[in-house]
Amino acid sequence: MSKRDSKSGSISRRRLLATASAGAALAASPLGINLLHAQQPPIRIGMSMPQTGGLAGGGKPSLLGIEIWRDDVNAKGGLLGGRKIELVVYDDKSSASETPAIYSKLIDVDKVDLLFAPYATVPTAPIMPLVKQRGLLLIGNFSFQVNSKVGHDMWFNNAPWGPPDSWASSFLDIGQKAGGKSMALLAADQEFAQNLAKTAREVAAKRNLPVVFDQAYPPNTVEFSSIIRALKAAKPDIVYVASYPPDSAGILRAVNEIGVGDNVKLFGGGMVGLQFGTVMENLGSLLNGVVNYNSWLPEKSMYFDGTKDFFEKYTKRAIEAKVDPLGYYLAPFGYASGQLVEQAINATKSLDQKGLAKYLRENTHKTIVGPIAFSADGERKETAVLQAQFRGVVDKNIEQFRSSGKQVILFPENLKSGELVAPFEAARK
Amino acid sequence: MKRSNIAFWVGAAVFLVAIFVMTQVVGNQYPFFAGYVILQFIALAVAWSILGGYAGYVNFGTSAFFGVGVYTAVFLTKAFEAPLLVQIVTAAVIGALMGFALGLLTLRMQGIFFSIATIALTIIIETTVMNWRFVGGAAGIQIARPPATPPFDNYVQMLFFVQALLVVLAVAISRYIQNSWIGRGLQALKDDELAAECTGVPTLRLKLLACVISGALLCAIGAPSAMYLQFANPDSAFNLNYSVSTLAMSLIGGTSHWSGPIIGAILLGTTQQLLTVTISSEVNVLVLGIMLVLFVVGAPEGIIGLVRKLRGNRKEGGT
């Protein structure tokens, strides 16, 4: 027994030596270096995202865009010499009352390295004072003027908005160039639409453009024929509409039945919903002639380094994830959010929030949605909100929107892909 | 009776001291953020069950009262930079007036008609606030917190403690009502309003009282929420979720005893908070739905009812 014991003991000692030397050799080899790096802690990015509730239709594609970025970076070996990206995501149910607790958990319990904001203004607004107080970097996600009162200098919005009035001014520019001398305003009584309407009124006042019709309607209105009749009677040249998905459809149906009159040169501007694949598919030919805002469109001028690759991946994964099959509006900007922090981390070689914020503020960043530079308030220096006109759209075909020419970009100048067809009634045909 | 009174107040004092010590000792902010939401729902559920539970008038207008509380605070902050206490007291007064108006409604409406009227109340007030530009209108409004009052070094910790005080206040009132002539009167009118009236129970006076107390509490509980979020918009403040959750919490806990809504709110509120940060998807909503269905089928009188039934069975088995 004792013999066997000693024998087995010697074998195990020998084995131990062998294992140790093999381990040392492995550590020294390139494979070993990779293994060691893989053990480095990941870079954790925390966020809430509306995955249920009213904003889920936007939140899900946005998250998919961010996930594609994560997978691309991790496939390349991560950041800071091999640290992989890990996302910590909670569902905020599209509600402002959920986000303070979620972000407090991300900061104090999960101790994430970086923070992304949820999609849209309402869930983002309550966390702005929190991140300002803690001095944390926050990459915004399509919220509108959420930092204007808070004044946080480490906030950077991925959205193409730019200065607050640029949205209305670009639309009115197009209308005035087409000979528009008066404006009608139709806006939903909801947060985003009212913000747009407010800036439109201000821009119109600055330009002495008379507002001949100014109507707000309650959310969830479905029947617009009386409103459109009243609008038609006011004989405006430019009709600026700020609406939400269900009412956008209702307004276009009413316009199709009643018409808006021959005066109207330009119709649209701020209609939410006309950026989403399924909504566009449902509306089909009703969309023709409408000039509306957008963030990304498959026109030649919109392809930058990596854009095509991104959409190839997105199109495949959108089917599995059951999200917007086109995903033009939000998904590439989710990816761009990732690219912003990726470039800042690579340049500063650290996760120091102040350093990252300084880099983001002072440089122009290459992304799949074009170059991004920030002004002092964390919004884009220049607006990149597109105004595009729907043309030649047929009914019940989502694939048509993948080809160029269905939404011709009229603004901004550097991305322009065609000229306005006016008046509106002629463009509808 | 007296001994149980002492036990209750000692318990309440221990609870408040524990909450206070927590605000002074715990450095991590998350427990306060999550805890605030849970305390808020406990208070809401208790306040709701004064009318909904004891009197049996199902009020779907919790979100109307809550939202009015939020916007009272927003208005007072924006117009006068009023301190938190003034916001809460003013909200309570406005809530009492609203409750009085709601109580008058019960003269003409009962049962499902009353419930529908309370939903209408939410919609009317929400639309009004949506068109009131001074408090932000439909776009909502961001408000800044003043510095916290010592001994609290953080505003969220202070709000957490304030909400705990409101919980104790709501529970004490609810308990007092249950054990007094008011509770017995409400119980009588819940069973049969006409019979109660005939036997001399002052039904209108009791209903008005229940509405006023419940309304004042619901509004007061909403007021600190403005400072908690530092943002208010009609969609969030008048969210139907407050009505539905409060109702579900009271029903799951049981409405026949003051402790029912507390149990329900702790159970459902904690589950909601935990699910938000664990299973983060539609499953979250699904789990809550399944819980509701299970309770409605398995324990129609809530946890309190279930416990009583089990105790009753055991006694029967023993004898």
Residues A127-136 pLDDT 10s: 999 999 899 9
pLDDT tens-place string over residues B170-224 = 999 999 999 999 999 999 998 898 999 999 999 999 999 999 999 999 999 999 9
Q: Is the CB of A429 inside 8 Å of chain B's CB atoms?
A: no
Q: What is the mean pLDDT of chain B?
A: 89
Shared domain for A286 and A404, answered yes or no, is yes
- Cα A105 to Cα A98: distance, rounded to the nearest angstrom: 11
A245 — pLDDT class (breaks 50, 70, 90): confident
Clarify whether residues A199 and A285 are in a common domain.
yes
ipTM, two decimals: 0.86
Q: How far B277 CA lies from chain A's nearest CA (Å)?
A: 6
Which range has highest mean pLDDT (A12-26, A57-71, B125-139, B240-254)? A57-71
Question: What pLDDT shows up at residue B131?
Answer: 86
Tokens representing B42 are 């406990």
Instruction: Identify the H or E element spanning B6.
Output: helix B2-25
Same domain, A350 and A255: no
Task: Report the amino acid identity of residue A102.
Answer: I
Per-residue pLDDT at A27:
45
Provide, rounded to the nearest whole percent, the portion of chain A with pLDDT above 90: 73
Q: HSE of A410 in the Cβ direction (CA atoms, 13 Å)?
A: 25
Residue at A1 is within a domain: no
Residue A91 is nearest to which of B37, B235, B281, comparing CB atoms? B281
- Structural domain includes residue A15: no
pLDDT value for A25: 46
- Residue B281 pLDDT: 62
For the segment A316-325, the average pLDDT, to the nearest whole number, is 92
Q: Is the pLDDT of residue A17 over 70?
A: no
CA B225, CA A223: separation in Å to the nearest integer?
35
A33, pLDDT greater than 80: no
Q: Give the pLDDT mean for B269-282.
A: 77
The pLDDT tens digits for A352-394 are 999 999 999 999 999 999 999 999 999 999 999 999 999 999 9
Confidence category of residue A212, pLDDT binned at 50, 70, 90: very high
Query: Looking at chain B, how many residues does it have?
Result: 319
Alpha-carbon distance A424 to A235, whole Å? 13
* Same domain, residue pair A279 and A323: no
- What is the structure's pLDDT at B310? 86
A102 touches chain B (CB under 8 A): yes
CATH of the domain at A295: 3.40.50.2300
CB B186 within 8 A of CB B206: yes
In terms of pLDDT, which residue wins out, A39 or A179?
A: A179
A108 and A226 inside one domain: no
pLDDT in tens, B100-114: 999 888 778 888 899
Closest chain A C-alpha to B32 CA, distance in angstroms = 8
The pLDDT of A327-337, averaged and rounded, is 96
- Reference B239, options B33, B30, B41, B101; nearest CA is B41
Contact state of B236 with A122 under an 8 Å Cβ cutoff: yes
Q: Tell me whether A189 touches chain B (CB under 8 Å).
A: yes
Q: Does A321 touch chain B (CB under 8 A)?
A: no
Is residue A122 located within the same domain as residue A271?
Answer: no
Which one is predicted more confidently, A65 or A40? A65
Please compute the mean of the pLDDT values over residues B289-312 and round it to a whole number: 85
In a domain, A170, yes or no: yes
CA–CA separation, A375 and A360 (whole Å): 10
pLDDT attached to residue B105: 82
Q: What is the pLDDT of residue A28?
A: 45
Average pLDDT over every residue of B153-162? 92
A105–chain B nearest CA distance, Å: 5
Per the domain annotation, does A291 fall within a domain?
yes
Report whether A384 contacts A412 (CB < 8 A). yes
Radius of gyration of chain A (CA): 26
Residue B291: per-residue pLDDT = 81
**Per the structure block, which two tokens stand in for A396?**
């019940």
Question: Residue A58: how many CA atoms within 13 Å on its side-chain side?
Answer: 22
Nearest CA in chain B to A50: B281
CA dist., res. B279 & res. B292, Å (int): 18
Which pLDDT does position A14 carry in this prediction? 52
* Domain presence at residue A175: yes
Do residue A49 and residue A140 come from a single domain?
A: yes
- Residue A302 and residue A272 in contact, taking contact as beta carbons nearer than 8 Å: no
The model's pLDDT over A333-350, given as tens digits with 9 standing for 90+, comes to 999 999 999 999 999 999
Same domain, A218 and A290: yes
How large is the average pLDDT for residues A187-211?
90
More confident residue, A357 or B150: A357
Mean pLDDT, residues A205-227: 92
Q: Please, are residues A366 and A343 in contact by the beta-carbon 8 Å criterion?
A: yes
**In terms of Cα–Cα distance, which of B197, B44, B193, B53 is closest to B109?**
B193
Chain A positions touching B275 (Cβ under 8 A) are none
pLDDT at residue A32 tops 60: no
- pLDDT over threshold 60, residue B155: yes
pLDDT attached to residue A71: 97
From B126, which residue of chain A is nearest by alpha-carbon distance? A218
Residue A5 has pLDDT above 50, yes or no: no
In a domain, A316, yes or no: yes
Name the residue among A98, A107, A194 with its Cβ closest to that of B139.
A194
Q: Are A256 and A350 members of one domain?
A: no
The domain of A137 spans 43-157+305-362
Nearest to B236 among A89, A97, A188 (CB): A97
Among B39, B141, B277, B278, which would you mutate to test the A interface (most chain A Cβ atoms within 10 Å of its Cβ)? Answer: B277
pLDDT of residue A6: 39
Task: Kindly report the nearest CA distance between residue B180 and chain A, in angstroms.
Answer: 37
8 A C-beta contact, residue A159 and residue A332: no
Give the DSSP H/E element, type plus range, for residue B142.
strand B141-142
Mean pLDDT to the nearest integer, A41-70: 93
- pTM (predicted TM-score): 0.86
Helix (H, G, I), strand (E, B) or coil at B206: helix
Do A151 and A172 sit in the same domain of this protein? Answer: no
Determine whether the interchain pair B235/A104 forms a contact, defined as Cβ–Cβ distance below 8 Å.
no
Q: What is the pLDDT of residue B171?
A: 95
Range ranked top by mean pLDDT from A215-224, A226-235, B305-314: A226-235
Q: Are residues A294 and A321 in the same domain?
A: no
Mean pLDDT of A229-251: 93
> Can you list the alpha helix ranges (DSSP code H) found in B180-281?
181-191, 193-198, 203-229, 234-237, 240-253, 259-277
Cα dihedral B120, B121, B122, B124 sign: positive
- pLDDT surpasses 50 at A23: no
Residues A246 and A356 in one domain: no
pLDDT score, position B226: 93
Size of interface A-B (CB pairs under 8 A): 110
Could you report the per-residue pLDDT of B22-59, keeping only the tens digit for each?
A: 999 888 889 999 999 999 999 999 999 999 989 989 99
A30 pLDDT band, cuts 50/70/90, is very low
Q: How many domains is chain A partitioned into structurally?
A: 2
- What is the band of B316 on the pLDDT scale with cuts at 50, 70, 90? low
Average pLDDT over residues B290-314: 84
Contact between chains at B145 and A129 (C-beta distance less than 8 A): yes
Q: What is the pLDDT of residue A260?
A: 92
pLDDT value of position A194 = 86
| Average pLDDT over every residue of B144-151 | 86
Average pLDDT over residues A222-246: 93
